Amino acid sequence: MLTLRKSAERGHANHGWLDSYHTFSFANYYDPQHINFRSLRVINEDRIDPRMGFPTHPHRDMEILTYVIEGAVAHRDSLGNTEVVGAHGVQRFSAGTGITHSEFNPSHTDRLHLLQIWIIPDRQGIAPSYEQKQFSAAAKRQQWLKIASPDASDGSVKLHQNAVLYATILPPDQVRTYVLKCDRSAWVQVVRGNLQLNQTQIAAGDGVAISGERALLTLTALDGEAEVLLFDLA
């Protein structure tokens, strides 16, 4: 079964310096029909003004990924990590028993555009940890590039959950397929561009839930280049 979550139907919060869209219930946005999908708990699309960001705040028992679309994010946490992650980079921290961190846009001129992703871990009380990887647009144009996985295979960051995250960039009219096994579910999130997923047209900000059967997913870029995330979930 394929269920479309349109971009315009997401929750929205504009704080001036932060313009954020919520695929699932988050903060003051609550929708009982969209709490989570399997272990996928949060997809927030954030645009953050120059020299602005989130001051130090706590998390626990959550796998948190930041996928940078444009600009760079400056991260600092209670483990002593002080890092900057640029476009096409991904950071992952396991909040575990507890971690505090801050995230800012270090640029004086450019807006930061990112996806903040939360995944419910397979167990509570793990030791907090942090890592980041820089990927390339060129690698995403060639394949479904593995970004995060439970075994950190193929250069991906490690998730404490039976979930795999892939990213791809499709040039105009290019087709990419993915075989979803019958015991798995998938969430497809459009980062940018317009595509056709099987018989459904989707656009930037749209999400699609796929579950209940073995499926061949066929994505075709329309009208220009498109970028997509695919979560393969237990």
CATH code assigned at 117: 2.60.120.10
- 230 exposed, middle or buried (CB, 10 Å; 0-12, 13-18, 19+)? buried
Average pLDDT of the segment spanning 13-23: 98
Average pLDDT, the chain: 97
CA–CA separation, 133 and 160 (whole Å): 17
126 confidence band (pLDDT: 50, 70, 90)? very high
CB 26 within 8 A of CB 43: no
26 confidence band (pLDDT: 50, 70, 90)? very high
Identify the domain containing residue 16 by its residue range.
2-233
| Tokens 């105009």 -> residue | 172
CB atoms near residue 98 (< 10 Å): 12
CB atoms near residue 6 (< 10 Å): 12
Looking at the predicted structure, is the pLDDT value of residue 214 above 90?
no
pLDDT in tens, 189-208: 999 999 999 999 999 999 99
- The domain tally of the chain equals 1
pLDDT in tens, 160-186: 999 999 999 999 989 999 999 999 999
CA distances 159 to 61, 65, 165, 219, Å, are 12, 9, 9, 26
CA distances 179 to 24, 40, 213, 218, Å, are 25, 20, 11, 9
| CA triple 216-191-229, angle to 5 deg | 40
Looking at the predicted structure, is the pLDDT value of residue 212 above 90?
no
